[in-house]
Copies of this chain bind each other. A is one copy, B any other.
Amino acid sequence: MATRRDVARLAGVSPSTVSRVLNDNGYVADDVRKRVHRAIEELNYVPNRLARSLRMQQSRQVACITPSISNSFYLEIVAGIEETALAHDYTFSLYSLTYEKREYLDVVLSGFYDGMILLAPYEMEKIVALSELAGRLPVSLYCDRERHPDLPHVYVDLRRAMRECTEHLISLGHRRIVFMGYQFSRPTQNPRYLGYRDALESNGIPLDESLTRLFPDYQDTLTCGYQTVCDLLDRGCSFTAICATNDLIAVGAMRALVEHGLKVPDDVSLTGVDDLEIASLVTPTLSTIRIPKRQIGNVLMEQMLAQIHGDAAAPRAVEVSTTLVLRESVKAPASPAP
């Protein structure tokens, strides 16, 4: 690898002059500037970022941690992060939660990164004790669960979103609506579930426990959706609509319905959450709550940059809004409840 010295030697100038050219610092005559640039070209010289980062005490790189590297929901957010990072000449590294707690801290705090973006709505507790990080390094969180008191974060109000979604079903005439999703440590911590209950309550529909299906976290979502519907039908449970807490669960549910000879949406309406690509690929297309993933990524990175630049005026919490996207999988029930 060519160094600054080599460039200086070839251009017949001193290393300081090369620095002056590169960083636009001090007086440099035009012809000297050209000579230096030519030497850089010729040697394929690229300034060593390690040395620069070490000296400058900043790397222009951020670490980004996702629960799962192949989960397209998070990856869309990551794409948003990359977009904004790129625009500001920043680079990022991607980690998934397969790392152990301790290793994270070490890697993240080792000087390689100027900050850390955490996409960990559910698993927040599983990883780094956030308090250990606070103050040591700029951190920016994505939460879909509850707002974080201390750290800068971006969040969506899924309680309200799910309430609106459920209320839409109710307004179409649905009364027996299944809720299916993850267990969470306590159901009252599940904003999606709370939103569902809000909607029932404000419409005077009693909560039927048999229509609530919560399964443990970290299971295969598709299978969960599939088996839960099979179980419901085996028990002879009657319902006209299903709210699933994400699109994959909904797709699993859809398969189970079809295999049992039920038509979506004629016999059962179905909704998801996330608006993954798959939601508009399945037949029938899936109604869902769109979470603006790319935008979330943008905002997370902007928040990170604000912290790195010590911009005290930057907002510590940003809400991004969801949209109810109505597609083919929802319609009024054939025989509206009395």
Contacts and interface: CB of A to CB of B under 8 A. Distances in A.
Interface of A: 1, 44, 46-51, 53-54, 59, 61, 69-70, 72, 75-76, 78-79, 82-83, 86, 91-96, 98-99, 105-107, 109-112, 132, 136, 222, 248, 251-252, 254-255, 258, 277-278, 280-283
Contacts of A79: 69-70, 96
3 A-B pairs with the lowest CB-CB distances in the bound complex, closest first? A49-B110, A48-B111, A93-B93
Which of A44, A51, A72, A283 has the most chain B CB within a 10 Å cutoff? Answer: A283
Contacts of A93: 61, 91-94
A200 to B, nearest CB: 29
A117 to B, nearest CB: 13
A132 B248 CA distance: 43
A241 to B, nearest CB: 19
Contact of A46 (B49, B61, B106): B106
Contacts of A59: 50
Given A54-B50, A106-B46, A283-B255, A75 B70 contact: yes
A141 B107 CA distance: 27
Contacts of A69: 75, 78-79, 82
A119 B126 CA distance: 32
